[in-house]
Structure 1
Amino acid sequence: MKKIYIKIAGIINLLGAILHTIGGQMELVNPLLDSNISIQQKSELAAAWHIVTILLFLTSYIILKVGFLKDSNQEKEQLKSIAVLYILSGIPFIITSYIYNANAFQWILLMPIGFLLLIGLQKSSIKKQNL
């Protein structure tokens, strides 16, 4: 396993979680709550936003734990699942950007984290030579 890639992915993920929490609240959530949509829509969209916030911080914890501490096979499987989830989660942002001619660039953070995790999970070439 190449821990440096996992550490980088974890740090980027944590920075993204912080940016999501602060910047997203000011730029997206607050205007949404000030809009004229129904209270039901406001509550559901705000809750979904904060679910994503929780997931970003939770995945940051998991990634950084594996990157900086001793890991197990179970944690490696968790990283693989997170990697696939992040890569697949970037696709709707790409499609939405194209369809609506908007700049939904969240995929720029999500997909590279997924790819860094997959690279980090590969066995290092030194270990392969010793086998």
Structure 2
Amino acid sequence: MTGLDRVLAALAALAGGLGVAASAAAAHTSGGETLKTAAQFLLFHAPAVLALTGLAATGFVRSGLARLAAAALLVGLALFSGDLALRALTGTPLFPMAAPSGGVVLMAGWLLAAIAALVPARR
């Protein structure tokens, strides 16, 4: 496991933890539906990042593409979930078009994950 793998795994674990915290906050605040969506995205994508990191470390998939996919998912999460959470908790957006930009980066991350799985790993 590389240093990058450790960073990606740690960030995935952080995303999972933030997803749990956002779920709890959504149950107790106004704007709960928006915060709930942010939490769900964090909780759904955290295991995917962990899986991509593990698959990259084992060499089962094209490792560079898998790590890039994992990084894209994390960036997309930060933009999408970060914007939704900030709007729900403070009423202020991260920046204009942050959530849609994050959604596009998330879709790109999933496409990269598919490519990483389909392109034969180097031996």
Question: What TM-score, normalized to structure 1?
Answer: 0.43
Question: What TM-score, normalized to structure 2?
Answer: 0.45
Structure of greater relative contact order (alpha carbons < 8 Å, 6+ residues apart): 1
Which structure would you say has the larger Rg?
1
